[in-house]
Amino acid sequence: MPEKRHLKISPSILTSDFTRLGETIDTLCSSRCDYIHLDVMDGVFVPNISYGFPVIRDIAKKATKPLDVHLMIVDPDRYISVLRDASPEYVSVHYEACTHLNRSLQNIRANGMKAGVVLNPHTPVTSLEYIAEYCDLVVLMSVNPGFGGQSFIENTFRKVTQTKELLLRTGSKAMVEVDGGVNLNNAGALRDAGADIVVTGNAVFASGNPADTIELFKSV
Ligand code: DX5
Ligand code: ZN
């Protein structure tokens, strides 16, 4: 039997208790998660505002896990050089928010970070055709961005498979991440469809024991 691919886990702190942010970062850093997913929302691109760069800077000082920053903001180029101080592993921008996406991705790489592109649920995989080679990460939204705790959109499985095919065909080495509504019931099937990384927010933080739940995700 072929060996199971290991799924990487990127917990999103969006639905954690922000009065205990330091403890949350410590818990995640001593768990077996692979990244910490940070959701930045501007109230314009998405109908919600979360937290911004001063918070990310302080998280970066404390965190010993690589940061996976998801920008749900218009005109994200304004903030790429600010983010460089936090040295995140990945900075991902939305396909739908960038008029000059190629420039935005090159800007992220030029600032020493890995570049991700995020597709909203309605955005076709074919949108990646001429941008895949400039991506280190493709994030497929499996909910409409803006809030944690929403239900997973089932056609994402098909999108993961199509994305993998496109990346292979275009010679891109980008990882595939799925973001939104991921839980212990769908994570294994996402891995089998081709996902490399899953974001888990509510499934981890509503579970009562984030570290144990991350352990369960790692054994999927
Ligand atoms: C949604 C965010 C997600 C979200 C994931 O806009 O991008 O990262 O917080 O949380 P869950 O797992 O609760 O859907
Ligand atoms: Zn996210």
Give residue-wise pLDDT tens across range 23-35: 999 999 999 999 9
Amino acid at 144: N
Selecting among 34, 39, 68, 136, the annotated active-site residue is: 39
Percent of the chain with pLDDT over 90: 98
**Domains (ranges, CATH) in the chain?**
14-218 (3.20.20.70)
39 is catalytic: yes
Q: Looking at the CA of residue 146, tell me the nearest atom of ligand 1.
A: 6
Query: What number is the average pLDDT over the span 91-96?
Result: 98
Q: For ligand 1, atom 3, which residue shows the shortest CA distance?
A: 180
Pairing relationship of beta strands 197-200 and 175-179 according to DSSP bridges:
parallel
Q: Looking at the CA of residue 46, tell me the nearest atom of ligand 1.
A: 6
Cα 176 to middle of ligand 2, angstroms:
13
Q: pTM above 0.85?
A: yes
Q: Looking at the CA of residue 14, tell me the nearest atom of ligand 1.
A: 9
* Angle between the N-to-C axes of helices 210-218 and 21-29, in degrees from 0 to 180, rounded to the nearest 10: 30
Cβ of 149 below 6 Å from ligand 1: yes
Mean pLDDT of the chain: 97
What confidence tier does 2 reach under pLDDT thresholds 50, 70, 90?
low
Cα 66 to middle of ligand 2, angstroms:
15
Cβ of 118 below 6 Å from ligand 1: no
Query: Please, are residues 92 and 117 in contact by the beta-carbon 8 Å criterion?
Result: yes
- Per DSSP, the three-state class of 123 is coil
> What was the pLDDT predicted at 1?
63
Query: Please, are residues 34 and 8 in contact by the beta-carbon 8 Å criterion?
Result: yes
- Per DSSP, the three-state class of 3 is coil
CA distance 53 to 135: 23
Query: Please, are residues 77 and 106 in contact by the beta-carbon 8 Å criterion?
Result: no
CA distance 186 to 10: 15
CA distance 38 to 23: 16
Among residues 111, 102, 87, the alpha carbon closest in space to that of 134 is found at: 102
179 is catalytic: yes
Query: What number is the average pLDDT over the span 105-132?
Result: 98
- Give the model confidence (pLDDT) of 199-218 as tens digits: 999 999 999 999 999 999 99
